[in-house]
Amino acid sequence: MEILSPSQWLQSISAGDEILLVNPPVSEVRYAWLKWNQPSDLLLLSNKLKEVLGCKVELLDFMLPDENGRVPNKDYNLKHINGINYKTRLYGTPLDKITKNLDKMSSVWKPNHIVITSLTSYWYEPIIRIIPLFRTYFPEIKISLIGAFPTIETEEAKKIGADIIVNDFFDFTDTIQDFSIYSQETTKLLNDNKELSFGGIKYTQTNTINNIQKQINSLLESKIKNIVIFEHDIFNEDSFILNELLDYIEYNNININIHGLCGIDPSKAKGDIYQKMIRNGFRSFFLEYDATNNELNLDSYKKAYYDLVKFNPIKKIASGNLAGFLMIGTPDDELESMFRHSFNILETCGSLIPKPYTPVPGTVEYKKAINDLGLDKISPHLFPFAEINGISRTDYKDFYQHAAFLNEKRNGSAFNFFDDSHTSISLRKSLSKKVGIL
């Protein structure tokens, strides 16, 4: 086994290498964003391997949704934490289907190197299952592991059977994603001819505006009109990049649908930016959680409501396409604040999305959570700080039911408005006060 830096790994690759990139299955308690899963790091790497190193590259994407946005899933295992059981599911194309596709692929193309990525440090268990499968088909093949798991948890990554561990993230400073790989015949064969339904574009560190335009044009050439901007903060640099993008769309009369699923920090939305976004293709606005010292910054939510709903003369936002995230599971959570904020967000946004918290890798919190629970139990959906912060795991499960009730959805049994749970009591108290914020 070798431990290589990204630059060392790239230097080990030769022109003409036949490389299969793999986006592995995911095991998780819940995964609400299946339709929007896309292996951005692999698409960036594909571009670099093809254009810079001259390699032949194909992609096996276990998580590629079908035309209806669905990804197969099944019961996987149970996670036991302090007397509470969490049922996990395995998301991704089933292995029996993959083996049939590998049989077909082997008759027309055989890679000499497989590269498996990992989106998080804790989504590693399915990788352990697929490495033996690849060894069976290609006994002499070299397997590299990249992404968050080997970067953050290098020692753990050494144990799962890869030949090369890449111990840091690649530098994709001026690289754009290779969306065209999904239209290659071998990649189509591996993925049951499923087509890419959207493109996740990113801000590059250099030549940002030019590269965003290239990404949009690449997607349009593939007849893909649904776009997500995968950035933590799309309003950075005082929205300069976003404004340039919107001006480019408007000037060229580009007809696209931009889904604002991440990076919309309502505290940074200035002037008429929301209406400019609507005018130039934004179809949904999922607002990041904006709170200070457990108090919601209501002014920023009010602005979103006024600009996107009450005084929006451009295009009505469809039901469910304006939503607010609510961070839960933090070390500083307060149950009363969570419920109060849920009502505030629902009143301004119309929909509420609980966003569970997990500690930032490398921090004291992260190391403590792993030491207390184990690497396989620090998923945000397992609430690694429950009980430590004074809120029980049962309360968090109850809060999810509360959110489902507020969104007029039903998960399992119907919500009981008149029971003695904290959820129902808080809801009854809140509604009895009849106090609005707008």
Which CATH number characterizes residue 17's domain?
A: 3.40.50.280
Which domain range does residue 211 map to?
Answer: 199-433
Inter-residue long-range contacts of 391-395, CB under 8 Å, 24+ positions, other chains counted: 391/333, 391/335, 393/81, 393/82, 393/84, 394/84, 395/335, 395/422
Whether residues 215 and 328 share a domain: the answer is: yes
Q: Per residue in 95-137, pLDDT tens?
A: 999 999 999 999 899 999 999 999 999 999 999 999 999 999 9
Q: Are residues 157 and 111 in the same domain?
A: yes
In this prediction the pTM is: 0.90
Q: How far apart are CA 388 and CA 378, in angstroms?
A: 14
26 with 92: CB under 8 angstroms?
yes
Q: How many CB atoms lie within 10 A of CB 264?
A: 26
> Is the pLDDT confidence value at 421 over 80?
no
Q: How far apart are CA 67 and CA 44, in angstroms?
A: 24
**Predicted confidence band of residue 293 (pLDDT cuts 50, 70, 90):** confident
Same domain flag for 71 and 150: yes
Residue-wise pLDDT for 341-375, tens only, equals 999 999 899 899 999 999 999 899 999 999 999 99
The total of structural domains in the chain comes to 2
Cβ neighbours around 274 below 10 Å, total? 23
- Check whether residue 240 and residue 98 sit in a common domain: no
Q: How many residues does the chain have?
A: 438
Asked if the model's pLDDT at residue 418 lies above 50, the reply is no
- Report DSSP state, residue 29: S
The side-by-side arrangement of strands in the sheet containing 73-81 is 26-28, 84-91, 73-81
Is there a domain that residue 63 lies in?
yes
In a domain? residue 186: no
Let me know if residue 418 belongs to a domain.
Answer: yes
| Same-domain status, 152 and 212 | no
Q: Mean of the per-residue pLDDT values for the chain?
A: 91
Give the pLDDT band (50/70/90) at residue 415.
Answer: very low
Whether residue 36 has pLDDT greater than 80: yes
Whether 112 maps to a domain, the answer reads yes
Closest by CA position to 269, among listed 248, 285, 254: 285
pLDDT of residue 5: 98
In a domain, 288, yes or no: yes
Q: How many helices (H) and strands (E) does the chain have?
A: 15, 17
Domain assignment of residue 189, yes or no = no
Last residue of a domain, one of 166, 184, 209: 166
